[in-house]
Amino acid sequence: MSAGIDVPELRVHDVTVRFAGLTALDGVSFTVAPGSIHALVGPNGAGKSTTFNVLSGVYRVASGSVRFGDAELTALAPHRIAALGIARTFQNIVLTRGTVADNLMLGRHTLTRAGFLTSALRLPHVRGEQRAHRERVREIADFTGLGARFDTPVSLLSYGERKRVELARALCMEPKLLLLDEPVAGLNTAERAAMARTVASVRDALGLSVLIVEHDMGLVMRMSDEVTVLDFGRRISGGTPQQVQRDPAVIAAYLGGATDAPVGEETR
Ligand X SMILES: Nc1ncnc2c1ncn2[C@@H]1O[C@H](COP(=O)(O)OP(=O)(O)OP(=O)(O)O)[C@@H](O)[C@H]1O
Instruction: Catalog residues that contact ligand X under the rule CB under 6 A.
Output: 19, 22, 24, 42, 44-50
| Torsion of Cα atoms, 65 then 79 then 4 then 34, to 10° | 20
Q: Which residue in 215, 184, 188 sits closest to 198, CA to CA?
A: 184
Give 2 or 44: the residue with its C-beta nearer to ligand X.
44
Give 29 or 119: the residue with its C-beta nearer to ligand X.
29
Burial class of 45 by CB neighbour count within 10 A (0 to 12, 13 to 18, 19+): middle
Q: Which residue in 232, 213, 254, 228 sits closest to 24, CA to CA?
A: 232
Give 48 or 169: the residue with its C-beta nearer to ligand X.
48
Exposure string for 88-122, b = 16+ CB within 10 A, e = fewer: bbeeeeebeeebbbebbbebbeeeeebeeeeeeee
Q: Which residue in 57, 26, 64 sits closest to 42, CA to CA?
A: 26
CB of 22 to ligand X, least distance (A): 6
CB of 86 to ligand X, least distance (A): 18
Cα separation, 29 vs 228, whole angstroms = 9
52 in helix, strand or coil? helix
CB of 191 to ligand X, least distance (A): 21
CB of 12 to ligand X, least distance (A): 14
Cβ atoms of 230 and 42 closer than 8 Å = yes
Give 180 or 206: the residue with its C-beta nearer to ligand X.
180
Give 46 or 81: the residue with its C-beta nearer to ligand X.
46
Give 24 or 212: the residue with its C-beta nearer to ligand X.
24
Cα separation, 206 vs 82, whole angstroms = 17
